[in-house]
Amino acid sequence: MAKLVIIDDEAAILELMTKLCKAAGHQVFGCTTGIEGIAAIRSNQPELVIVDLRIGDVNGLDLVSMCRDQFPNTAVIMVTGHGSVETAVEAMRLGAFDYLTKPFDLGDLIKTVNQALQRNGVAGTTVASPPVPLPGAALRSSSSRLIGHSDALQRIFEIVRRVANNDSPVLLEGEFGVGKHIVARSIHEASRRSNSSYKELQCSAMPEDALDTELFGQNSIFNRAGGGTVHLTEVTQLPARIQSQLNTFLDEAQAKKGRLNGSGTDFRLVASSTVPLEDAVQAGTFREDLFYKLSVVPLKIPPLRERREDIKPIVEQFLKDLAERTESKPKSIDPVAVEFLEKYNWPGNLSELRNAIERACAFAEGERIKPADLPTKVTQQIEVPTPSATAGITKLPIGSTLDDFIKAQERVFIQETLKYNSGSREKTASMLGVSIATLYRKMGLNAERKTSA
């Protein structure tokens, strides 16, 4: 058992982390302010401190520096958002052991705690993530997974099953939001490395010197993985110098033990990109030799529009997740609303769909989501037959109100009549059988403007 101080100004997140660490057998002191946290550190001299980078009264980096100078035997884990990864790396330069990026996995919290304690000679305890509600989007359960029954998804499941334990580097490619990080974690969870850490580094979010530290520093992400999996996202964004260093690092690792490991640290490497890596090679922006090292097992994740039959079960799972977060009963969804969701192209894929469902739940009156609760962009681009001799198919703004539709059509008709009358508003008003004041109002113009003859 170890003494832990956890500092986070979000009470729900603090409570969850405190419960989880107590369930692992540790004595935990939870604090919602930096001042309380500093007092708890000084009075208890804990083996480990977990601190949010952004707390109201104290800078997380200052607290890391204080622990380094005054309590050198206390390990520090920083909690940060995706947009502050560079600052988290700075925290490690100041002496932090590791950082967790929100939203982080419940299991990763305990694994990182155990690693930090073991480095300081304190035994950690492995414990399953408790079935507790997730507060907001700060934490996520380890059950994050691709959902559906489409043939495309079944092929991915089969590949994940086959490659999980062979340790070959995997390259995941696909559009933004298709779930590449979910597949990467699925590979980790299905492998013999599942009891070790899963580390993810967003390569596009960090400057070159911070990437250098994270990838090749003394306490690099590969070392902190502790025999687990390292997922490098958006690898096409790696600067040329870092590409060269990574290429050499992987060569040396392969030569040492015949598998990807360096400085005695074993890990599984997964890379991902929204841009096809081979295209980047052809464009001269990515090293060809590094491309071959990363793409031993290439896997393309299909966009949502190519597996529309999976949309309904995905939506149902999102509704269950939202209900758990809010401790409420899951909402149902109207079959017509599901049809709209299945016909929309989802350029943002799973991320966009999740946001649309959250919005629909917020707007829904009662316990059932209706088409009107969905974003307008989802419902307005619906192709319908047109009873016309000149056109067989047209697009109507289904989902908008009748009043909005009529106003829009009025404006189009007025604009075309104006063109016919060479811009004369007086002639247009006369032709349309309305007063000049009504014409101005419908066009959104000021009545005092003069008409043109």
**Tally of CB atoms within 10 A around 445:** 11
Q: Mapping DSSP to helix (H, G, I), strand (E, B) and coil, where does residue 399 land?
A: coil
Both tokens assigned to 439: 């014409």
Closest CA to 443 of 410, 402, 421, 417: 410
Phi and psi, residue 151, nearest 5°? -60, -40
Assess whether 245 and 169 both reside in one domain.
Answer: yes
From the list 33, 86, 80, 90, the residue with the least C-alpha distance to 57 is 33
Q: Please count the other Cβ atoms lying within 10 Å of the Cβ belonging to residue 91.
A: 25
27-31 and 48-52 as β-strands: parallel, antiparallel, unpaired? Answer: unpaired
- Domain final residue pick, 300, 333, 363: 300
Q: Any idea what the CATH number is for the domain that residue 261 is in?
A: 3.40.50.300
CB atoms within 10 A of CB 365: 9
Does residue 75 lie within any of the structural domains?
yes
Asked if 65 and 204 sit in the same domain, the reply is no
287: tokens are 């090293």
Dihedral over alpha carbons 356, 359, 365, 371 (to 10 degrees)? -30
- pLDDT tens sequence for the chain (453 residues): 899 999 998 888 899 899 999 998 999 999 999 999 999 999 999 999 999 988 888 888 999 999 999 999 999 999 987 667 788 888 888 899 999 987 788 888 999 999 899 887 765 554 444 433 333 334 444 345 789 999 999 999 999 999 998 889 999 999 999 999 999 999 999 999 998 999 999 998 788 998 999 999 888 999 899 889 999 999 999 999 999 999 999 988 777 764 444 445 688 999 999 999 999 999 999 999 999 999 999 999 999 999 999 999 999 999 998 898 888 899 999 999 999 999 999 999 999 999 999 999 999 988 999 999 999 889 875 454 544 444 445 555 555 567 767 877 888 889 888 888 888 888 888 888 888 888 888 877 654 444 444
Instruction: Supply the CATH number for residue 360's domain.
Output: 1.10.8.60
CA distance 322 to 246: 40
Same domain, 177 and 266: yes
- Pair 330, 419 in one domain: no
In DSSP terms, 226 is beta-bridged to: none
Q: Where does a domain end: 300, 326, 356?
A: 300
Domain containing 13 equals 3-128
DSSP label at residue 368: E
Length of the chain: 453
Q: How far is CA 439 from CA 176, 236, 427, 429, in A?
A: 46, 55, 11, 6
452 found inside a domain: no
In a domain, 448, yes or no: no
Q: Is residue 146 part of a domain?
A: no
Same domain, 162 and 294: yes
Whether 138 is covered by a domain: the verdict is no
- State residue 445's pLDDT score: 65
Does 238 share its domain with 287? yes
Is there a domain that residue 139 lies in?
no
**CA R_g for the chain:** 28
Same-domain status, 114 and 63 = yes
Residues 184 and 277 in one domain: yes
Q: pLDDT value at position 384?
A: 47
Per-residue model confidence (pLDDT) at position 140: 47
User: Cβ distance 141 to 134 under 8 Å?
Assistant: yes
- Number of structural domains the chain divides into: 4
Strand bridging mode 381-385 / 393-397: antiparallel
The enclosing domain of 46 has a CATH number of: 3.40.50.2300
Between the two ends of the chain, the Cα-to-Cα distance in Å is 89
Which residue type does 243 have? Answer: Q
Same domain, 241 and 319: no
In a shared domain, residues 55 and 165: no
Note whether 318 and 284 are same-domain residues: no
Residue 278 and residue 155 in contact, taking contact as beta carbons nearer than 8 Å? no
Judge whether 391 lies within some domain: no
Q: 300, 335, 360 — which closes off a domain?
A: 300
> Same domain, yes or no, for 365 and 228?
no
Query: What span, in angstroms and rounded, lies between the C-alpha atoms of 425 and 439?
Result: 8
**Sequence-separated (6 or more) residues with CB below 8 Å from residue 34:** 7, 55, 56, 57, 58, 59, 63
Examine residue 168 and state whether it is found in any structural domain, yes or no.
yes
- Predicted structure pTM score: 0.74
